[in-house]
Amino acid sequence: MDSKYKEYQGLNLTQVAEEVGEFWKENDIFHKSLKNREGNEPFVFYEGPPSANGMPGIHHMISRAIKDIFCRYKTLKGKYVARKAGWDTHGLPIEIAVEKTLGITKEDIGKKITVEEYNKACRTEVMKYKDRWDELTVKMGYWVDLDDPYITFDNKYIETVWYLLSKLYEKGLLYKGYTIQPYSPAAGTGLSNHELNQPGCYRDVKDTTVTAQFKVVRDDRSAKLFAEDDTELFCLAWTTTPWTLPSNTALAVGAKITYVRVRTFNIYSGKPVTVILAKDRLNAYFNPKAADLDLESYKPGDKLVPYRITDEFSGTELEGIRYEQLIPFVKPMGDAFRVVTGDFVTTEDGTGIVHIAPTFGADDDRVAKASGIAPLILIDKEGERKPMVDLKGRFYRIEDLD
């Protein structure tokens, strides 16, 4: 009996893939699958565009295989599935690559190189590996229209996006807000997570951490936190970004975390001090061997610093207490310097009390907005909001400072 399909004596997937791919190519099967469904209900598919300035990787093959499954299924259901390809020509990675190739910086554009020459170099760079992408597309049997792709640097595409944005604006669907995002001092722009994950854009460094003492304001709300003989009380907050401390406007605690009030001595000044931190983090800051030492016998410089737990509180009991601004200079325009609760607070490290700088952290910004805490920002001569940070991107190690 004759068969439409070729029979194989053994399983050689590579050979099968090559033969099927060659059959599709010779008989133009992809376009025939569109031709015989013309006029049918369409299933619209625009390729989530890859960037052709880098080589494709295994993750691109996985995502494309998943896309292909849906398009083939809809085709088998009789839909007309045109499958329009696309190329993402997003800016920053291209600009960095071009500037590196040409040996220029952002400031050189318009001086050492014209804007037209720079744009031309960027357009060349962005399609650097297009041929390799096309080759992979055909080889893996991914059906998509490569002959008429949309390209994000094309004026038609750009004008279409602006047109759609104008329509959203006319309908009152656009609003101005503020988010926390990575910033590139070199480019003078914010960065997407994708851009931040480009090779060479981010690296781990060892840096100094700080545990800061935030002085609690004694009032009706906080009175219960003080012992009778406590003249001062401090919340301890640990941070890996000491340069954000001038922008602190809140402290976050965990609602279900247990905190302890500890009477001890400041290890630097030798002065008596009473502090609050999470009970589960006590041993990270105080040596258990010093727990039974007499407070009165301590002398500044002693290796073991005695301490005594004088009370316990829940996170909810700490919520709402106020503290003094750590570095009193610029004042925020709104309510600030108050303890709030946050679901991201843990006792895995630090003190169990988190320093909140809404202009620098996404979690910080979220919990501050939810609690009505104002950020500490600067407004420049043009009326633009700026975080208090060196926008030139200079990085100073503690040991390099005076």
Run means of pLDDT, 10 residues per run, the chain, 402 residues: 71 90 93 95 93 86 95 96 90 80 87 90 87 92 93 92 97 88 73 73 78 95 90 94 91 96 93 96 94 91 93 95 92 93 92 94 90 86 72 62 56
pLDDT of residue 203: 73
pLDDT of residue 399: 65
CA 312 to chain centre: 36
Cα separation, 349 vs 240, in Å, equals 11
| Helices first, then strands: H and E counts in the chain | 11, 14
Q: Strands 145-151 and 84-87, how do they pair?
A: parallel
pTM over 0.85: no
Residues in the chain: 402
**Domain range summary for the chain, segments of one domain joined by +:** 13-163, 210-376
- Token couple for 255: 């609602």
What is the CA angle 327-333-335, rounded to 5?
A: 80
Cα separation, 16 vs 291, in Å, equals 74
pLDDT of residue 3: 59
Neighbours of 368 (CB within 10 A): 25
**What CATH code would you report for 210-376?**
3.90.740.10
| DSSP category for residue 191 | -
Cα separation, 267 vs 248, in Å, equals 24
pLDDT of residue 400: 64
Helix 130-139 to helix 13-27 angle, to the nearest 10 degrees? 110
Residues facing 314 on adjacent strands:
258
Neighbours of 2 (CB within 10 A): 3
The answer to whether 271 and 263 have CB atoms below 8 angstroms apart is: no
pLDDT of residue 249: 96
pLDDT of residue 266: 92
Looking at the structure, give the CATH architecture of the domain made up of residues 13-163.
3-Layer(aba) Sandwich (3.40)
Cα separation, 357 vs 1, in Å, equals 77
The answer to whether 368 and 359 have CB atoms below 8 angstroms apart is: no
Cα separation, 89 vs 124, in Å, equals 11
CA-wise closest residue to 244 among 267, 210, 197, 272: 210
CA-wise closest residue to 389 among 366, 357, 350: 357
CA-wise closest residue to 227 among 182, 180, 192, 273: 273
